[in-house]
Structure formats: C-alpha cells, structure tokens
Amino acid sequence: MDFPYIKVIDFPKHQKRERILPWIRFGIFNPKDRSDILYPIGLIDSGSDVTIIDHELGERLGFDIKEGKRGKVYGVGGGFINVYFHKIGFFLHQRSNKESVVYEDFSAFTYERFPLTMPQQTAILGTIGFFRHVDVTLKYPESISIKAKGF
C-alpha cells in the first residue's frame, strides 16, 4: 500500500517554512479491545530503535501508562526521554485498498511533548513497533510504500 508524503508548514521565528515529511496516519488499539482504534500521525524514522507514542493516546485506549516497563530512549547528542513500554495493536490500511496490515508489538509511551515545530505529530515509528513487521520503501517526495514482511 502506498501513502503520500505530507507537506508540513510551520513558522519558526515567525518565518513560514514548508517541508515534505514521511508522516503517515496509522491505527493503534489496545489488544483487549480491538474495536476501539485511534488514528495518530507518525513520522517514519528508520533511525529510531523504538516506536514512541504520546501518552494521551495510550490513556485514551485504557492503558495505565506508568504501569508499563520503564525505560529511556536516547537521541542525537545523548539527550533522552523517559518512556513506558506496553504491547499494543497496530493497524495499517487505506480506504482505497482492501489490503491491511495488523499486528501487535511493543510501543514506548512518553509524557514528554513532541517538538513544537511538529505540532500534528503524535508518534515516531521506529524498529520496535514498526520496521520489524513491515518493509518500507521511501520514494521521496512521491510516495511511501509499505507491505507486511514476507509478502
């Protein structure tokens, strides 16, 4: 299935900036209730070891975030954020296509906010939670092709 790149507009230092980024809308659910699916926007990040999602989404799905396994995720320059790992469900599909990918994996929920320069983003899609289940081909700036591993 193919997803479009998304044009992002922000205003750092009051100057308009446009970027085209590999953001996709994807579904997440609590494995205890597969019928309640939320659709955040996440940045596909091949350099991220884990998938990170804003805690508000996890709480909305019924997770007690701080009951998860606590960890730290380190970024460029050695900075880190505290996270809590939970097993969640992922759902990738497109309305125009009957193909879908559904699986369960761990995700890290964070209480720390994503950068203000990316206000629409609520997730970062990394190796654990994303890349170990799907093959991704980035065709910048035309499309993002995603298919389940093994197909």
For the stretch 88-103, pLDDT in tens is: 999 998 777 778 899 9
Amino acid identity of 30? N
- 117 close to 19: Cβ distance less than 8 angstroms: no
Q: What is the DSSP string of 94-115?
A: ETTEEEEEEEEEEEEEESSPPP
Pick the CATH number of 2-148 from 3.40.720.10, 2.40.70.10, 2.40.240.20, 2.60.120.380: 2.40.70.10
**Per-residue pLDDT reduced to its tens digit, 112-128:** 776 665 556 789 999 99
Tens digits of per-residue pLDDT, 18-41? 999 999 999 999 999 999 999 999
Residues above pLDDT 70, as percent of the chain: 93
Q: Confirm if 124 and 52 have CB atoms less than 8 A apart.
A: yes
Cα(41)–Cα(16) distance, integer angstroms: 22
Tell me what pLDDT residue 113 has. Answer: 73
The model's pTM is 0.88
DSSP one-letter code for 60:
H
CA distance 71 to 56: 18
